[in-house]
Chain A
Amino acid sequence: DTAVSQTPKYLVTQMGNDKSIKCEQNLGHDTMYWYKQDSKKFLKIMFSYNNKELIINETVPNRFSPKSPDKAHLNLHINSLELGDSAVYFCASSQVGGTSGYNEQFFGPGTRLTVL
């Protein structure tokens, strides 16, 4: 069973298009995240949702809009794609509420986005 899944695995598109990446977790976690990993492998948090509420919203262009229809899903919609959006996007989830210590973030396999 896949714990955190993302679709698609690869996405190649033209500049100016709008695209979405979907993420689902079957771990029963209450918190989900989107990260961007650039060509230098740096991982940067973009958004985090806890129980469908946005709790982390880093400095990200407003062309990026996360949507959480329920606790198990966090989708990422990107408008007017630019060349600089090319990267690998990772979804992750963790159980934060009611626990102490570090609540391990489980990562999906990533979506490689290439903007031409």
Chain B
Amino acid sequence: GQQLNQSPQSMFIQEGEDVSMNCTSSSIFNTWLWYKQDPGEGPVLLIALYKAGELTSNGRLTAQFGITRKDSFLNISASIPSDVGIYFCAALAGNNRKLIWGLGTSLAVNP
């Protein structure tokens, strides 16, 4: 099935460091999303992006919708232990509102 290319696959960082991850596609999408999945839970929406070039923040998180509409980036500043989890990018495809997902970036934060 269709999927997005997300990198890196995993990251292990020290508390206080900044984190960057990205997502690319060979197709154009009009909506890009970033979700976080805590261990043992379902994914939760962090940021939704609707416009090429858009830069949106949610606390220490900042996401950008790539100008080509084929990619998106998520940055986390000054990481803390509760940032641990899996971050997924997703893009909205078609009229039936189907989400295409990346493979996830697993983040571990060393206190």
Q: Could you tell me which A residues sit within 8 Å of B by CB distance? A: 4, 31, 40-45, 48, 55-56, 58-59, 90, 92, 94, 96, 101-105, 107-110
Contact = CB atoms under 8 A, between A and B. Distances in A.
Contacts of A41: 37, 86, 103-104, 106
A108 B37 CA distance: 11
B101 A56 contact: no
Given A41-B86, A110-B41, A105 B1 contact: no
Contacts, number: 56
Given A59-B1, A107-B42, 12 more contacts: A41-B37, A41-B104, A45-B98, A90-B42, A96-B97, A101-B31, A101-B50, A102-B33, A102-B48, A102-B92, A109-B41, A110-B42
B99 interface: yes
B5 interface: no
A103 B99 contact: no
B58 interface: no
A92 B42 contact: yes
Contacts of B42: 4, 90, 92, 107-110
A45 B3 CA distance: 11
B104 A31 contact: no
Nearest to B94: A56
B65 to A, nearest CB: 12
Contacts of A104: 45, 48
Contact of B31 (A31, A48, A96, A102): A102
B66 interface: no
Interface in B52-111: 86, 88, 92, 96-99, 101, 103-104, 106
A44 B1 contact: yes
